[in-house]
Amino acid sequence: MAPRRNGVGVQAEDTRICVVMVGLPARGKSYIAQKAQRYLKWLSIPAATFNVGNYRRNNAPHPSADFFDTNNAEGERKRRAAAEAAVKDMMKWFKSGGVVGILDATNSTKERREWVLDRIKGEGVEVIFVESKCDDEELIMANIRDVKTTSPDYVGQDPEQAALDFRNRIRNYEKVYKSINADGDEDHLTYLKIMNVGKQVIINRIQDYLQSRIVYYLMNLHIRTRSVWLSRHGESMLNLEGRIGGDADLSHRGEEYASKLPELVLESVGSDRPLTVWTSTLKRTIATARHLPKHYNQLQWKALDELDAGVCDGMTYQEIADLYPEDFQARDADKYNYRYRGGESYRDVVIRLEPIIMELERSEDILIISHQAVIRCIYAYFMQKTQEESPWVPVPLHTLMKLTPRAYGTEVQTYKANIKAVSTWRGKGSTAKHEDPKPEGGV
Amino acid sequence: MAPAQLYSTMSGRLFHSGRIAIVMVGLPARGKTHICVSMARYLSWLGVKTRIFHLGDYRRATVGQGGHVPQDYFYPNASPSSVMLRQKILKKCREDIYAWLNHENGQVAIYDAVNPTATGRRALAKEFAKHDVQTLFIESFVDDQEILKENARNVKISSPDFHGMDPDEAAQRYLKRIETKIPVFETMQEEELNYVRMINAGQAFFYNNVSFNYLSHRIVFYLTNLHVKFRTTFFVRAGTATEEDYKADAPLCEEGWAYAHTMTETLLRHREQERQAAIEQGGSDVPLRPLTIWTSTRMRTIQTAEPLREMGYKVRHRSQMSQINPGVCEKLSERAIRSLYPEEVEKHELDPYHHRYPRAESYHDLAVRLEPIILELEREQNDLLIIAHESVLRVLYSYLMHCSTMEIPKLKFPRDEIIEIIPAAYQNEAKRIHIPGLDPKMIPGSPEDIRIRVPDHSAQLPPIPGMSSPMEMEAASPEPVLTRPPEKIVNTAKEMVSDKVTDED
């Protein structure tokens, strides 16, 4: 399965990468794995996580700390079997078209890493080790309390007792733990080592672009709690006519929303700490942002412009259905991939938003004022919506959304301005009219 | 409100990054200048005002033509007169850096020097902080003997001192000489400083505290992707389509298909010829490097790659590579644009690179959209053929060949040429390969994206780095030439660093 080449420069196979997590328990490995998987899937790169702990649980549902003692032969055997099972499933998954597989386990010894490398490289998959190393005892205990005591291993147990047991479990790992290349004899590995939450980072032997993208993304993650605020522009003149795209001014009610937005934002932020405002380059988002406080910095991004509807720009759905009936059908059948004639698809929008996501991961306190399709794509990133779902998410006008990423998932709060606006939502397979979203729909 | 998207403010600096000094650290022959030049090329292309300050230039200027610094110049226990000289040279260089940052709106000053001691580096960071400049150190650390010898061979042998010597021996001597000249070098370990240690030309990286702002992140990502492998990139235009309209996204017309086939044949023949030529010059009979093809998602580029795809070459479609969006002015005549949007025309004439017509993209927008492609381009290990619209070729070419932004909207890529970009020390080189037998009508091809002529400032401007155009086809070409041999394009940007090639620091 290694890449095939022939003399005339034709190359066949594509890259497949296995990301092997390394580190003691409670170092945020699963958090990193989960985010990486979400990011890759959002970019349409098939990615999956294989958590060795879950395989082990099938065999030993509520183990005590002793189980993890390396001198416990029975425990050792079971843990090894779990790793085997996880790797086996991952290989099967690669054969069915997987691109980035994440092996989530401690992999804390040189022997174990060597075993994983042999096992996976033998099948033509590139291996990159990602280690999270942390010596800050407070951070570790905080992580244990937050995350680990709610783990399935401790269902129905006293949290303090559970935290203590978990700390002991870690001690068993600490006995044998060896940081990657700590002895200088693992220099042949491709790895990323993040120390004390990003204060220091080492990367070694990164081979190709996809690897460097993953590494760059992981280097940009920070774990401070922050929020991202999303709003569409106020109702526009074209919204009133049910037309898509264009570069129209705000309607009277849209202007009202722009005036009310500062109040809404203040209510949501809870203090006058400034946000950075990102708008598109179109008139309606700039106008919507213009009453925000002077001490907020404002930036225009071309990448935040609305999905380009190509030849259909400025039409109503009815006109599109009449003029391009086949396109209208095709778009409903696969809205994520449908590209307007001479325009863009949702997939295209996601690709152009990637630098924005990278910036969002790095930054704090951003308010984005953009457009329906763009907000849907950003929302899909944070809320892990599938490609089938994301283009249909209702994002009503005159509503501010606050997204707060947490360890496992993102919290959403919405603030309605209570200013009337037309609906710009249209259900799948429905008539070519805007309608009110079905009540079960997301936001 | 910031006028353009990459955060530029009225001062011309990026929005949420302050002024940055990138301070290079490393002994000679560690590839520092290569890193400086690549970084400066990338940052300027992104629209960041960047300048390199080579301390060696100041040293030479101070000791005069043909003069030498004292033997103990780099010694930790240098004589008072050497220390004085050192400080004088440093002071002048630093003053120039501050003047440029403060009075010329510079944003990133790259300070190229050895900076061998921790004490010196700490003092430097403190000094810059006093002037409200953030410091990022980039150390190029090399202990791989092969890389060291290679660097010494490539760069230093042309010095007259080593004239007529066996290259390997000259390289050894040169490295020895560095050791005696600069006996003390402390690798970076200063925990409180922001630094990147690049080990053995990118084999490994160590980052300390670098998460301090947007620009340093871009720089770090760029360095991570900076490639050292030898590979070439080819640029060609897409074939002509049945309809030129931007929104129509029409398929190739008959001549367009014929072009796709002729272009394919020419390219493959050229690659094979180059291989044969290399063998004749004593190269080994190695197979060609794999060739990957990137097109945009526009129909005509996809179809132009079709003959290659049928032969089994891998073709990737990249939506970021779509042509520049002409906006509402696409079909309007110049007169109509002038009467409908007089203010826009005025702005456009002032700054044709940054200005965007209603709902159109500017070249700067296009560059920002293409940035991920640039990074991937740096990473790519295969040879690459890029089939794209002229506007996209302009922006990609300008990155690789270090053209100024003023020049970008005017670069020309006639359809009867394949442009080949070949990496060389410090700056790339380019060749044009003639595609014979095309209908002369299709050669100049692409209608101007937005039909306002860019005022020609070339009379007032100094010669622009890069080159004027791959080919000026304005004058009605004489009889269609049957075949032309490949021609080299002169990259004048190379001259900017030519004196560094023989520089001993």
Interchain contact A215–B (C-beta under 8 A): yes
- Give me the amino acid identity at B500: K
Inter-chain contact A310–B214, Cβ cutoff 8 Å?
no
CA–CA gap between residue B396 and residue B409 (Å, rounded): 12
Chain A, chain B: beta-carbon pairs less than 8 Å apart: 140
A340-394: pLDDT as tens digits: 988 999 999 999 998 889 888 888 889 999 999 999 999 999 999 999 999 999 9
Return the closest-CA partner of residue B288 out of B419, B384, B189: B384
How far CA B385 is from CA of A361, B271, B413, in Å, comes to 33, 12, 15
Candidate from A209, A215, A299 with C-beta closest to B2: A299
Reduced to 3 states (helix: H, G, I; strand: E, B; else coil), residue A31 is helix
- In the stretch 204-243 of chain B, residues with CB closer than 8 A to chain A read 204-211, 214, 217, 220-221, 224-225
Asked if the interface predicted TM-score (ipTM) of this complex is over 0.90, the answer is no
Best probe of the B interface among A5, A6, A8, A351, by most B CBs < 10 A, is A8
How far A402 CA sits from the closest chain B CA (Å)? 23
Kindly tell me the burial class for residue B406, based on how many C-beta atoms sit within 10 Å of its own C-beta (0-12, 13-18, 19 or more).
middle
Is A118 tagged catalytic?
no
Inter-chain contact A209–B203, Cβ cutoff 8 Å?
no
Chain B residues in contact with A198 (beta carbon < 8 A)? 211
The length of chain A, given as a count of residues? 443
Residue B4: per-residue pLDDT: 31
Residue B155: per-residue pLDDT: 66
The answer to whether B151 and B142 are in contact (CB under 8 A) is yes
The answer to whether B250 and B300 are in contact (CB under 8 A) is yes
Q: Strands, E, within A253-372: which ranges? A: 276-279, 297-300, 366-370
Binding site as annotated, residues of A: 232-239, 284
* Helix runs in B73-117, H state only: 80-103
Interchain contact A136–B (C-beta under 8 A): no
How far B245 CA sits from the closest chain A CA (Å)? 9
Best probe of the A interface among B379, B383, B395, by most A CBs < 10 A, is B379
Chain B residues in contact with A187 (beta carbon < 8 A)? 204
CA–CA gap between residue A421 and residue A394 (Å, rounded): 14
Chain B residues in contact with A343 (beta carbon < 8 A)? 247
CA–CA gap between residue A12 and residue A190 (Å, rounded): 23
Query: Nearest residue of A to residue B285 by CA position?
Result: A7
Inter-chain contact A11–B314, Cβ cutoff 8 Å?
yes
Tokens found for residue A412: 């959403």
Which residues of B belong to the active site? 112
Q: How many Cβ atoms sit within 10 Å of the Cβ of residue B136?
A: 23
- In the stretch 309-338 of chain A, residues with CB closer than 8 A to chain B read 310-311, 313
CA–CA gap between residue A19 and residue A246 (Å, rounded): 43
B419-439: pLDDT as tens digits: 999 987 677 889 999 999 888
Candidate from A297, A311, A352 with C-beta closest to B247: A311
How far B485 CA sits from the closest chain A CA (Å)? 22
Inter-chain contact A7–B372, Cβ cutoff 8 Å?
no
- Cα dihedral across residues A276, A282, A288, A293: positive or negative: positive
Inter-chain contact B214–A359, Cβ cutoff 8 Å?
yes
Chain A residues in contact with B209 (beta carbon < 8 A)? 199-200
Interchain contact A300–B (C-beta under 8 A): yes
Inter-chain contact B221–A310, Cβ cutoff 8 Å?
no
pLDDT per residue, tens digit, chain A (443 aa), is: 333 444 455 544 568 999 999 999 888 888 889 889 999 999 888 999 999 988 888 877 778 788 777 778 888 888 889 999 999 999 999 999 999 999 999 999 999 999 999 999 888 899 999 999 988 888 788 778 777 766 777 778 888 888 888 888 888 889 889 999 999 999 999 999 999 888 899 999 988 788 888 888 888 777 667 899 999 999 999 999 999 999 999 999 999 999 999 999 999 999 889 999 999 999 999 999 999 999 998 888 889 999 999 999 999 999 999 999 999 999 999 999 999 988 999 999 999 998 889 888 888 889 999 999 999 999 999 999 999 999 999 999 999 999 998 766 789 999 999 999 999 888 887 766 777 765 443 33
How far B365 CA sits from the closest chain A CA (Å)? 7
How far A58 CA sits from the closest chain B CA (Å)? 39
Inter-chain contact A303–B291, Cβ cutoff 8 Å?
no
Residue B503: per-residue pLDDT: 47
Reduced to 3 states (helix: H, G, I; strand: E, B; else coil), residue A48 is strand
- Give me the amino acid identity at A71: N
Chain A residues in contact with B214 (beta carbon < 8 A)? 359, 362
Of all helices (H) and strands (E), which one includes residue A264? helix A252-269
Residue with structure tokens 């209908």?
A: B439
Is A174 tagged catalytic?
no
Inter-chain contact B224–A216, Cβ cutoff 8 Å?
yes
Query: Nearest residue of A to residue B312 by CA position?
Result: A10
Chain A residues in contact with B5 (beta carbon < 8 A)? 281, 299-303
Inter-chain contact A298–B1, Cβ cutoff 8 Å?
yes
Paired with A113 in beta bridges are none
Binding site as annotated, residues of A for substrate: 232-239, 284
Q: Whole-model pTM?
A: 0.85
Residue A208: per-residue pLDDT: 79
Residue B260: per-residue pLDDT: 97
- In the stretch 154-213 of chain A, residues with CB closer than 8 A to chain B read 187, 198-206, 208-209, 212
Residues in chain B, pLDDT under 70:
1-17, 155-161, 211-213, 227-229, 425, 445-483, 490-505
Chain B residues in contact with A214 (beta carbon < 8 A)? none
Reduced to 3 states (helix: H, G, I; strand: E, B; else coil), residue A49 is strand
Chain A residues in contact with B385 (beta carbon < 8 A)? none
Interchain contact A219–B (C-beta under 8 A): yes
Chain B residues in contact with A191 (beta carbon < 8 A)? none
Candidate from A202, A220, A311 with C-beta closest to B205: A202
Residue B12: per-residue pLDDT: 44
Return the closest-CA partner of residue B196 out of B186, B187, B206, B185: B206
Tokens found for residue A157: 């147990």
Interchain contact B351–A (C-beta under 8 A): no
Inter-chain contact A355–B372, Cβ cutoff 8 Å?
yes
Interchain contact A348–B (C-beta under 8 A): yes
Phi, psi of A267 (to 5 degrees): -60, -40
Inter-chain contact A355–B247, Cβ cutoff 8 Å?
no
Residue B45: per-residue pLDDT: 84
The answer to whether B454 and B336 are in contact (CB under 8 A) is no
